[in-house]
Structure 1
Amino acid sequence: MKPETLSFFERVYDVVKQIPYGSVTSYGAIANYLGAPRSARMVGYAMNNAHGKDVPAHRVVNRKGLLTGKHHFEGTNLMQQLLENEGVLVKDNQIQSIEKVFWNPSEALQ
């Protein structure tokens, strides 16, 4: 299937699958990359719908590094545990030193 025929959610999943291990990105960065800069919330809806799709949704956080999607994961701290297993430091539901682990798809995917 050609990329232009994929649904917005499928295009989001294609980007999220490319986030490197130990890195995170934001809903807004994905929306910007997809040419829909005002659609960060739609990216969030896509992440909420990503269960069972082999998409590393735990690597998508808000622009401040907050684990805003954590309540969509099973268990109380699963999102944080998954990130910490990849070496990402999380404190009080927020990525620490986000600039060190932030992956910008607009820069990485040309």
Structure 2
Amino acid sequence: MGHFNEQVYELVKQIPTGRVASYGQIARMVGKPRNARFVGFALHSNPQPGIIPCHRVVFKDGSLAPGFAFGGPDAQRILLEKEGILFLDDGRVDMEQCSWEIT
């Protein structure tokens, strides 16, 4: 497994319960701002589901990943709702309320 994937996994582990981050945000935080798609590839092959909370990573507009590797977008939404994530009427995560802000 590459260094990039390891960095992604370590960062995603830090997203607190009840918060989400975007693929682009994670890419920027690992120093590869143009590699949001590769963040998705890394999470799709998550070696530790349940430990690495990949369900907390969404598109920048709050949309869920249609290819969520661990049960599809319905499963991702259920996991997020259990953590108190708020959704807009159109099914997107309320990014204004739920984004992970690094302090």
TM category, shorter? 0.7 to 0.9
> Normalization by structure 1: what TM-score?
0.80
Is the CA contact 1:70–1:79 (under 8 Å) kept in the aligned structure 2? Answer: no
- Give the Cα–Cα distance (whole angstroms) in 2 for the partners of residues 25 and 7 of structure 1: 20
* Offset of residue 7 of structure 1: 1.2
The answer to whether 1:43 aligns with 2:3 is: no
The answer to whether 1:22 aligns with 2:33 is: no
- Give the Cα–Cα distance (whole angstroms) in 1 for the partners of residues 55 and 69 of structure 2: 10
Query: Among the aligned pairs, what percent are the same residue?
Result: 42
- Give the Cα–Cα distance (whole angstroms) in 2 for the partners of residues 34 and 21 of structure 1: 21
Runs ≥4 residues deviating over 4 A: none
Which is greater in Rg? 1
Q: What is the Cα-based RMSD across aligned positions, in Å?
A: 1.9
Q: Residues 69, 49 of structure 1: CA spacing in aligned structure 2 closer, same or farther, 3 A cutoff?
A: farther
Corresponding residue for residue 3 of structure 1: none
In structure 2, list runs of 5 or more residues that go unmatched.
none
Aligned residues: 100
* Offset of residue 89 of structure 1: 1.9
